Structure 1
Amino acid sequence: MFNLRNAAVSPMNQLLVTLRYYATGCSQLTSGDFAGISYTTAHRVIHRVSNAIASLRPQYVSFPESQESIRKTQLQFYNIARFPKVLGAMDCTHVRIMSPGGMEAETYRNRKGYFSLNVQAICNADLEFTDIVARWPGSTHDSTIFNNCYRHALFEDRRYGDAVLLVDGGYPSKPYLLSPLENPITEEERLYNESQIRSRNTVERLFGCWKRRFPVLSLGINVKLNNTMAIIIATVVLHNILRKAGEDLPPDDPDLMLPAPWAALLGEGDITRGRLQDGQRKDAVRRALISNYFRSLV
């Protein structure tokens, strides 16, 4: 599948060239020089392998659909901090890209001032991606991405019953989107917030693990936009494969030359954290959960 003309580069070497690019964020020219191949060959190799890996997404990135998988996911989240009915934690993070050029290039510049794709992810309690959307410009608000995605339509159609997603305050309140209270007052409200934040933290940990494992996501993907999305999805697939195989979480690499500390790079997705006032929310489900469930735990 991967062989180029005259089988000049073996499939294994093509994979290694691609993985080196993901792991270092170097240019395709540098990746080619390291492997002893030309820039044009490295370019073809990296994008061909990335597309092949990305095509495995349906096999390795799947949202809970059966009753058994839904119950299993909800139990795993419940075991974190006793928050019920959670089907996933959702958030967005920014992946650096080079300027795509053209009349709409500035739509890809986010509030931090650099070009990016705003990538939406839903994860389970095992730090695995269960849903990924990687096509929106960096200036797009998190809630806009969700409102226009396939998963939103399914939740609106009540496909998942009373299951919920945990989100931060940048999302609107819906029966299936539960965010923390801005100003908790009562004991049950504080307990709700603690449980919600601890459970939702899985998606923040996922982003940290993913970007440490594939530094190209933080350093910047220096290829054309139509090739960037396949690289993002390919790293998601590889991350899930490693998680399912029980691979340890990657530590910080002190020898990796980063433009900013890891904490700053991993927090670059947190640019749309503006909270809506509680008085503007129609949050009957959240209020009922606090009154009927978390009050009983106090």
Structure 2
Amino acid sequence: MIYFLSNLSPEVIKWPNDVEKQEIEQYFRHKNTFPGIIGLIDGTHIKIDIPQDDPDSYINRKGFYSVQVQLVCDHNLRITDIFTGYPGSVHDARVFRTSPLSETLEEKCGEFHLLGDSAYPLLKNVLTPFPDRGLLNRQQINYNIQHSSNRVKIEHCNGVLKQKWRQLYHLKLRDIRLIVNFIRACCVLHNLGLQDGVALDLEENVEPVEPAPRLDPDNIEQGIQEDLNAVAKRNHIVNILGQ
């Protein structure tokens, strides 16, 4: 059953089509005038037992064994992209860089973008907050507030996913292939549940989810230069949002 559900993922976990993109974008634009959003991206850790192969690489910065999961969701908490299987010691930025989504992001997003936290690179199609070192102006602070307000949806998505399938708080499996398929199967069930209005019932009462470890956005280990077009795009949105 796990493998059957996992194999359904291409049919159930799908990038939004053009009509859906417009619907998602309008939702966030209406919420707080933040334009261009068609998804929220984040990483989360699934705690596991000691894996069979290369266990040390699965120890994350919190000191427990885990598998990384990169998710993108829309305004309805529907998962539109999943990439999982990397050991817990790997940072979000590297997971993103090596994911199929990264390779096809411009094609999938076009003029639109995802919102990601400071673990992600600032790109034309992934907008991140301004690093806060106490020197931000009021418009930049307002941008960060609105950015965070919109990203609450991906935090809720992670929370609902783990609340509904509580095995994901600690998956007592050791075979990574089975772990990956189990996680993917849960995401398929999550989306199917949304179609029936099931998962949304949990949105307001989810337990806090341990976020993926973060690095300082200036850390050279991330090895990514800011995209000048992305800088200009973010500054343009700062001006749209105003003070």
| Aligned residue in 1 for 2:36 | 85
Equivalent residues in 2 for 1:104-183 (5 A)? 104-156=54-106, 158-183=107-132
| Aligned residue in 2 for 1:59 | 11
Task: Report the count of equivalent residues.
Answer: 234
- Matches of 1:67 and 1:137, distance apart in 2: 34
Equivalent residues in 2 for 1:1-298 (5 A)? 49-64=1-16, 66-102=17-53, 104-156=54-106, 158-183=107-132, 185-247=136-198, 248-249=201-202, 262-263=207-208, 266-267=209-210, 269-276=211-218, 281-291=226-236, 294-295=239-240, 297-298=242-243
Q: List alignment gaps of at least 5 residues for structure 2.
A: 220-224
Asked which structure has the greater RCO (Cα within 8 Å, sep 6+), the reply is 2
Q: Which amino acid aligns with 2:3?
A: N
Structure 1 vs Structure 2 CA RMSD? 2.3
For the Cα contact (< 8 Å) 2:43–2:71, is it kept in 1?
yes
Q: List alignment gaps of at least 5 residues for structure 1.
A: 1-48, 254-261
> TM-score of the superposition, structure 2-length normalised?
0.87
Q: Higher Cα Rg: structure 1 or 2?
A: 1
- Matches of 1:123 and 1:204, distance apart in 2: 10
- Matches of 2:103 and 2:97, distance apart in 1: 8
For the Cα contact (< 8 Å) 1:116–1:138, is it kept in 2?
yes
- Matches of 2:60 and 2:237, distance apart in 1: 41
- Matches of 1:219 and 1:96, distance apart in 2: 5
Closer, same or farther: CA 284–76 of 1 in aligned 2, 3 Å? same
1:273 shift after superposition: 4.4
Q: Which amino acid aligns with 2:127?
A: L
SS of equivalent to 1:126: coil
SS of equivalent to 1:68: helix
SS of equivalent to 2:117: coil
- Matches of 2:83 and 2:233, distance apart in 1: 31
1:291 shift after superposition: 4.2
- Matches of 1:108 and 1:297, distance apart in 2: 43
- Matches of 1:108 and 1:293, distance apart in 2: 39
> TM-score of the superposition, structure 1-length normalised?
0.72
Identity of aligned pairs, percent? 24
1:221 shift after superposition: 2.9
Spell out, residue by residue over 1:133-178, the C-alpha distance to the aligned partner (whole angstroms, 9 max, x if none). Answer: 111111111111111111111124x443221110011112211111
